[in-house]
Structure 1
Amino acid sequence: MRICGLDVATKTGWCIADGNAYQTGLFDAGKIGKRKVSCEAERNANFRQWLWSLIKTGDVQAVAIERRAVANMKKKVKDPVTGKVVVKEVTNDATAATLSYLNNCAQEVCFSLNVPFQIVAVQSWRKSFLGDLKPDPKKEEDWKDVAKRVCQMMKIQAKSKDAAEAAGVAFWLQTQMKLQRAQAPAGGLFDMGEAL
């Protein structure tokens, strides 16, 4: 079964997996060819058209989408009372809105194509894909670096960190589907189903 894992953002990591074969890539919704999009509406339409095409031409039968999460950023600001520069956590509202829209758009494309999809929390797919591996502080790694390292160990060609994370999302979906098949009740002699 061909499945797709998505790490949705303006630069979306994607992975189409079929058994042990993984194909990964990165799509930049902010560009059409070498030209930057002119507005948010053009970016959104660009993303929708690309994803529609990926699912249709890739003959994708199920999709996993990483649940959107926007971490607060740390920003140095001047405290108006003391005049001292302090580090403050701020939410980037524009980024949050973009991620929310693109994530919902991915769900809408799957729904309109009648392709089943699941939303997965980052902690869930990372536990499945990375196991007990953690970022190495000596190498100044982050979680995306660890996903890239696992892809190298599994011989999955992922040129970007976002594509490596999409491979992790796809791996998680494959694991979930295997578990569901294993837990499904045995059918009758003439039931439609997958031969083992």
Structure 2
Amino acid sequence: MIILAFDQSIARTGWAVYEPPVHGKMLIGSFTSRPETNMSTEAKTAIFCDEIEKLFKAHKPQFVIWEAAAEVIRSFAKQGKTDLIGEQKVQGVTVNADQLILRDIQGHIRHAARARRIPYEPVQPKTWRAAILKNGNLGRDDAKKKAKEMCQMLRIAVRNDDQAEAALIALYGAGTQTFRMMTARAAA
């Protein structure tokens, strides 16, 4: 059973194709998703959609897993502007636009799986990191460094940290209850 895993981000999305239990033959890659300036959100996410579709068609996965974006979209206070009398005028709050795009990307992955009737599972970063890296509370940079170290230890050839995290998400996917039930059904 083939697992397709994603570690998506705005700048670069890592992916891994894994057929357990042999992680040495894992196919790993990434695609740049850094859009041109002044592109609409729809145009930006279309880049992801095209790449995701290529992966589904080329590898025909039977299970899909990806790192879930935060459920709560954080907002940040805008910096106030000083007027002529020195008062700060607060402009309200703004959201992190990348978080909005990540939700669209996840929607494309989910849709590609659902359209093909492929079981799928989003996984929280803390969950897969706790299971694979043995620490779910690592900061972003520490987690990426540990992911590359783990791949090196397992002799999984990766070129960047997004590929490393995708590879480890794929390994995590092989241990999920959904994947184990699918394997048991196939064996019966």
How would you bin the TM-score normalised by the shorter chain? 0.7 to 0.9
CA distance in 1, matches of 2:119, 2:41: 27
Equivalent in the alignment of 1:154: 154
Q: Which AA in structure 2 matches 1:143?
A: A
Equivalent in the alignment of 2:125: 122
Report the Cα offset of residue 45 of structure 1: 1.8
Deviations 1:135-188 (A, max 9, x none): 69xxxx62110011000000011111111111111111111159734996xxxx
Higher-strand-fraction structure: 1
Unaligned residue ranges in structure 1 (runs of 5+): 84-89, 185-191
Tell me: CA distance 1:143–1:49, structure 2 relative to 1, closer, same or farther (3 Å): same
Tell me: CA distance 1:164–1:183, structure 2 relative to 1, closer, same or farther (3 Å): closer
Tell me: CA distance 1:181–1:106, structure 2 relative to 1, closer, same or farther (3 Å): closer
1:53 aligns with 2:57: no
- The TM-score with structure 1 as length reference comes to 0.73
SS at match of 1:142: helix
Aligned Cα RMSD in Å? 3.7
- Is the contact between residue 147 and residue 161 of structure 1 (CA under 8 Å) also seen in structure 2? yes
Equivalent in the alignment of 1:112: 115
Deviations 1:58-104 (A, max 9, x none): 121110011103896999x6796xx9xxxxxx875211111111111
Corresponding residue to 1:99 among 79, 98, 102 = 102
- Is the contact between residue 135 and residue 146 of structure 1 (CA under 8 Å) also seen in structure 2? no
Equivalent in the alignment of 1:67: 68
1:22 aligns with 2:23: no
- The TM-score with structure 2 as length reference comes to 0.75
- Is the contact between residue 30 and residue 37 of structure 1 (CA under 8 Å) also seen in structure 2? no
